[in-house]
Chains A and B, each alone.
Chain A
Amino acid sequence: MKSISLRRRSVAATAIISMVALFASTFPASGSNTAGVTRTEIKLGTTVPQTGIAAPGYSKVAPAMQAFFNYVNANGGVHGRKITLSIKDDGYNPKLAVSKTRELIQRDRVFAIVGALGTANQKAVSTLLRQNRVPSLFVNTGFSEFADKGKYPFQAALFPSYMMEAKIMAEFISSNPDFKGKKVGIIMQADDFGTDAQKGFTQQKFKFDKVIRYPNGQQGEADKVDLWISDLKAAGFGSGDVVIVFGVTTATAAVLSAARRASFAPQWVLGSVGADATTIAGINPLLLGLLNNSIGASFLPDPSDVSDEYIKLFAEINKTYNKNVPFDFNVVAGMNTAMMMTQALHAAGPNLTRTGLMSALERNGKDFYSAGMTSLGYSTTARVGYNGYWFGKYNARGELKPINNQVIIYTTDSGNGAVTKSDKITRKPMPDKGLPK
């Protein structure tokens, strides 16, 4: 009967609408897999300190990413789409990182976040990312918890974890005959960044003669930093003793400034995220003299090593697309991040979705080519980026050169695995023009 059949159709239509509505309500609209993606564009966003205490140095990371994406766009984009990057200044302030990430997701409607920076900042935004189901890839931090897919389902870190770095640093110092019998102290940021490192040192049963912990931001108070140095001197530290600085570059610069004032010259060992020479020189050129002969760790090649094919490409892109800014670790890090994001977007295929992007990282991430000197650990169960470092000494120009001209790669994990050493670099050769095929 007509009326019944119409009613049934109406009922069926209602059911379909209801089911659609049910799923629509289960997955928030901004979690839609096509947000930020059009036929011609992929809209990405990032939050980084463009101003404030951590801006010197770090403010170069996002423009470097932008430059690499512009290079990719000039070469056809990804599956025919241009990549655009919305850069938000979070001032290295976690509260601001939350509001700026909210802007990226809800106002700018970005598809994904890339290369966002800072442990505390990225922990702070994790709830927001989870709530909106927005991927944040290649987070510029080494906080080991970001490898936990269950806890941070939409974030994937890039750096080796700070725990790995600490384990490796402990091994490097313990096994170095030059440091036998020397005092070892550490100045470290008293938050998750430092706490993560502390776990690594503890794992290696590494003992310090002096530990100075400071809240991030205190490096801006010269009188407080002077106290750190006088505490070290009071503890008997002098020339030849080892002092690790495990903080951001502005903290390293502040420590070196205070050491210069106090004529304090131990053997500095600088953490990987806190020793960008151009940043230090930008703060005070005289500090380069103190940086000379300091030991540093890096997972990327030395930016001054023009024989490195990745460095060569990035330097060219820097000239053409990045106003030829001073070429340093931050520029290399930004371009390397963008290079990996380009591959992730490419691997996710032409029908780009957020879940597809996360799957592509899990499926292909460990095989992405990159400038990094160690392998990548992305998998279906973990979001681990690089897994190791090489050590070098800074010269008077602020260039990190391999100790005894030999690159030794130290690798480990964020657990109780051993630290291994190798003089073999397993990096994949760069494809033509550095673009994914």
Chain B
Amino acid sequence: MMKNSSRKKGLIRSFFSLVLIAGTVTAVAPTAAQATPVCQTVAFVTSCGGVTSDGAQYSMTAAANFNGTVFIYSHGYRPWVNIEAGKIPTASLRGGYTVNNLPQPGPLPGGSTAVIQSLIAQGYGVMGSGFLRQGWNAESAVKTNVELIGLFKKTFPKTTKVVAWGESLGGFITQALHEAHPDLVDAVVPMCTVAGSIEASMKSAGDALWLLKTFFDSSIVGHSYKSGDEGRQQAITDIQKIFALAPQIQASLVTGAWPASSGAVGKALASIPPRSALLLTGLAAGLPPQSNSFDGTTGPGIRDSADYSRFAIAASPALAMLENVIEAGVLGVLVTHDLESQLGGAYFDNTATDYGALIAEERVIFNLGLSGEDAIGAMLQVLGTAAVAPRWKANPTAAANMKKMLTHKGVFAKPTIALHGVADPAVSVGNMQWLIERAEDQYRKDVADNVRKVLKGESTDRASRKLLAVINPTPDEYTTFNGALPVSKAPGTTTGTGHCNFTTAQYLAIAQLAANAADTGRIPSAAAANRVLRKAGNMFVDRNYFIPLQKFYASAE
């Protein structure tokens, strides 16, 4: 058994802590719709607030030493519905959540405004909106940001360069702004970003929810939520069920017993440890096999012992998946509920999904964790049996509407610096790989175009890469043990894990590179970037670093 069973608490802090304190950095509280910002200057720092024409609140700040470069920040996903106190047992949500539209002008690592304050002190301007609607709001957020950039330039006429940055959904908004309005930005920083389409990430979420439901609790709704408050309650109840599964699966590491809620599937697979089904769930969904507390490779005691190997190979990846499934599952439920309400019904469809194909490589790497080929075969057989594992069919209208959602083209007009943790459970690092591959395609095309032009005797600009992909790795080994028992770590402890789990120093290093890129019009060389990144710690650039694509994209190739 885990030593600290309260590990799950606060796992989704990274989403919601931002929401709860966002307002604290706004110097001037906006009032009713204001065409022009209301500003005040205190100790040489001018802070302005207001609402854009669509009604979104914003804040913008620059000091007397403003150097002309401003950072426009797009925040990540915030729930679009209220959550009552006591419903979800995380530190940030235990007291409840009320939909929050407060503006956020920069990242808030660990709830601190240090990044924003440091940028202002260095002479940069900062701004950010709260956006009008919460939930998945990329299309409207891009419009809000366009207006906000104009407002800032008008308010601070010294503005010469604009760096757009954002995290998660905010990273998606940032890249979408870049693609739609390249003339408005000089450098772009999508961090821990959703890339390409939200459909790709929601395929992973849908698979994770369906597999959780199928293996562990058939009463999880997971999709096709009802409209109105009834649907909201269904979603909250689903989150509660996912949390409730955690201790049961954890206990099964010792007992081998399936949760009572797993019903017929649990009985059919009784000879297989539930941890293997959980591992299959996470692997098929593309979740990382290491987490904040579990590195997936080490065990207790001496390395040559059977206990060490068994834990390292079989238990650790499953425990890592447990931490990750909770984090991904909670966000998956919230966004599914949100998107279904926007798209007019269930958009996820796994009637044609081959779960064996989804784990084709992983079943080799995690063969023992999955309890061997026979167990894998038995689990896949259950997943292919309609009577016990009915697939989810999409509402055709909703599925068609999903295809109409804003997507990225994968074009890079301005220098772009992406940053992603390699074991991000909520938005896979495979999203950054999608950007990398599109940027390489563009670079090759630019080079080929240049060659054609040169052969025709036309002059050209030298082709250059536009994307610098910064990797935030995990340590090689970091699971700690108290005797034979693994010790849970406080959320956010392990670099490279968690969603958008970056430090103040890391954000500031990325900001420094982005500001330089905005000035020069080019991304820095890998060597120059690595000098800055190493100083901040746990980041590097390496074009040959292999990152698997997100499952959705990999299976589409």
**Residues on A close to B: CB < 8 A?**
7-8, 10-12, 14-15, 17-19, 21-22, 25-26, 28-31, 51-53, 55, 91-96, 98-99, 102, 105-106, 120, 123-124, 127-128, 131-132, 190-192, 194-195, 213-218, 220-221
Confirm or deny: B44 has a beta carbon within 8 angstroms of a beta carbon on chain A.
no
Smallest CB separation, A187 vs chain B (Å) = 13
A51 touches B303 (CB 8 A): yes
20 A-B contacts (beta carbon < 8 Å): A11-B460, A12-B454, A15-B450, A18-B462, A22-B447, A25-B443, A51-B303, A94-B367, A106-B542, A128-B546, A131-B546, A191-B364, A192-B364, A192-B373, A213-B374, A214-B372, A216-B372, A217-B313, A217-B314, A221-B306
Segment 152-183 of B: residues with Cβ below 8 Å from A: none
Confirm or deny: B139 has a beta carbon within 8 angstroms of a beta carbon on chain A.
no
A55 touches B304 (CB 8 A): yes
Q: With A25-B443, A95-B365, A213-B372 known to touch, is A14 a contact of B545 (CB < 8 Å)?
A: no
Q: With A22-B448, A95-B297 known to touch, is A213 a contact of B373 (CB < 8 Å)?
A: yes
Which residue on B lies nearest to A105, using beta carbons?
Answer: B544
Confirm or deny: B368 has a beta carbon within 8 angstroms of a beta carbon on chain A.
yes
B447 touches A25 (CB 8 A): yes
Which residue on B lies nearest to A123, using beta carbons?
Answer: B364
Contacting residues, chain B, for A94 (C-beta < 8 A): 364-367
B447 touches A215 (CB 8 A): no
Q: With A14-B462, A18-B454 known to touch, is A220 a contact of B310 (CB < 8 Å)?
A: yes
Confirm or deny: B375 has a beta carbon within 8 angstroms of a beta carbon on chain A.
yes
Confirm or deny: B10 has a beta carbon within 8 angstroms of a beta carbon on chain A.
no
A25 touches B451 (CB 8 A): no
A29 touches B543 (CB 8 A): yes
Which residue on B lies nearest to A217, using beta carbons?
Answer: B368
B367 touches A25 (CB 8 A): no
B310 touches A221 (CB 8 A): yes
Q: What 8 A-B pairs have minimum CB-CB distances, sorted nearest first? A: A215-B372, A220-B306, A15-B454, A51-B303, A190-B372, A94-B365, A22-B447, A30-B544
B310 touches A95 (CB 8 A): no
Contacting residues, chain A, for B297 (C-beta < 8 A): 91, 93, 95-96, 99
Contacting residues, chain B, for A213 (C-beta < 8 A): 372-374
A18 to B463 Cα, complex, angstroms? 7
Smallest CB separation, B242 vs chain A (Å) = 25
Chain B 309-322, CB-CB to A under 8 Å as 1, else 0, gives 11011100100000
A197 to B476 Cα, complex, angstroms? 34
A18 to B453 Cα, complex, angstroms? 11
A25 touches B440 (CB 8 A): yes
Instruction: Among B375, B463, B543, point to the contact of A215 (Cβ < 8 A).
Output: B375
Which residue on A lies nearest to B454, using beta carbons?
Answer: A15
A190 touches B374 (CB 8 A): yes
B364 touches A95 (CB 8 A): no
Confirm or deny: B392 has a beta carbon within 8 angstroms of a beta carbon on chain A.
no
Q: With A95-B296, A124-B361, A220-B310 known to touch, is A191 a contact of B450 (CB < 8 Å)?
A: no
A11 to B450 Cα, complex, angstroms? 9
Interface centre among A30, A31, A55, A96 (most CB of B within 10 A): A96
A159 to B155 Cα, complex, angstroms? 73
Q: With A18-B454, A52-B304, A94-B366 known to touch, is A127 a contact of B309 (CB < 8 Å)?
A: no
Which residue on B lies nearest to A130, using beta carbons?
Answer: B546
Instruction: Among A22, A51, A92, point to the contact of B444 (Cβ < 8 A).
Output: A22
Smallest CB separation, A133 vs chain B (Å) = 10
A216 to B373 Cα, complex, angstroms? 10
A131 to B366 Cα, complex, angstroms? 21
A99 to B474 Cα, complex, angstroms? 11
A98 touches B365 (CB 8 A): yes
Contacting residues, chain A, for B364 (C-beta < 8 A): 94, 120, 123-124, 191-192
A93 to B312 Cα, complex, angstroms? 8
A287 to B469 Cα, complex, angstroms? 55
Number of interface residues of B (CB under 8 A): 48
Confirm or deny: B289 has a beta carbon within 8 angstroms of a beta carbon on chain A.
yes
Instruction: Among A25, A124, A191, A217, point to the contact of B373 (Cβ < 8 A).
Output: A191
Contacting residues, chain B, for A12 (C-beta < 8 A): 454
Which residue on B lies nearest to A93, using beta carbons?
Answer: B313
A99 to B546 Cα, complex, angstroms? 11
Confirm or deny: B371 has a beta carbon within 8 angstroms of a beta carbon on chain A.
yes
Confirm or deny: B459 has a beta carbon within 8 angstroms of a beta carbon on chain A.
yes
Smallest CB separation, A348 vs chain B (Å) = 22
Chain B 281-302, CB-CB to A under 8 Å as 1, else 0, gives 0000000010000001100000
Interface centre among A7, A8, A220 (most CB of B within 10 A): A220
A217 touches B361 (CB 8 A): no
Which residue on A lies nearest to B542, using beta carbons?
Answer: A106
Confirm or deny: B553 has a beta carbon within 8 angstroms of a beta carbon on chain A.
no
Segment 437-464 of B: residues with Cβ below 8 Å from A: 440, 443-444, 447-448, 450-451, 454-455, 457-460, 462-463
A132 to B544 Cα, complex, angstroms? 7
A10 to B370 Cα, complex, angstroms? 59
Contacting residues, chain B, for A217 (C-beta < 8 A): 309-310, 313-314, 368
B373 touches A190 (CB 8 A): yes
Contacting residues, chain B, for A8 (C-beta < 8 A): 457
Smallest CB separation, A231 vs chain B (Å) = 14
Contacting residues, chain A, for B451 (C-beta < 8 A): 15, 18-19, 22
B372 touches A92 (CB 8 A): no
Contacting residues, chain B, for A194 (C-beta < 8 A): 373
B545 touches A7 (CB 8 A): no
Contacting residues, chain B, for A120 (C-beta < 8 A): 364-365, 367
A52 to B368 Cα, complex, angstroms? 14
Contacting residues, chain B, for A7 (C-beta < 8 A): 459
Instruction: Among A91, A95, A195, point to the contact of B303 (Cβ < 8 A).
Output: A91
Confirm or deny: B308 has a beta carbon within 8 angstroms of a beta carbon on chain A.
yes
B543 touches A93 (CB 8 A): no
A22 to B361 Cα, complex, angstroms? 31
Chain B 407-451, CB-CB to A under 8 Å as 1, else 0, gives 000000000000000000000000000000000100110011011
Chain B 199-239, CB-CB to A under 8 Å as 1, else 0, gives 00000000000000000000000000000000000000000
Contacting residues, chain B, for A128 (C-beta < 8 A): 546
A130 to B161 Cα, complex, angstroms? 41
A120 to B363 Cα, complex, angstroms? 9
A22 to B289 Cα, complex, angstroms? 35
A221 to B463 Cα, complex, angstroms? 59
A124 touches B375 (CB 8 A): no
A99 touches B306 (CB 8 A): no
A216 to B543 Cα, complex, angstroms? 35
Q: With A7-B459, A124-B361, A221-B310 known to touch, is A191 a contact of B367 (CB < 8 Å)?
A: yes
Contacting residues, chain B, for A31 (C-beta < 8 A): 544
A10 to B444 Cα, complex, angstroms? 20
Which residue on B lies nearest to A195, using beta carbons?
Answer: B373
Which residue on A lies nearest to B465, using beta carbons?
Answer: A25
Smallest CB separation, B447 vs chain A (Å) = 4
Contacting residues, chain A, for B289 (C-beta < 8 A): 95
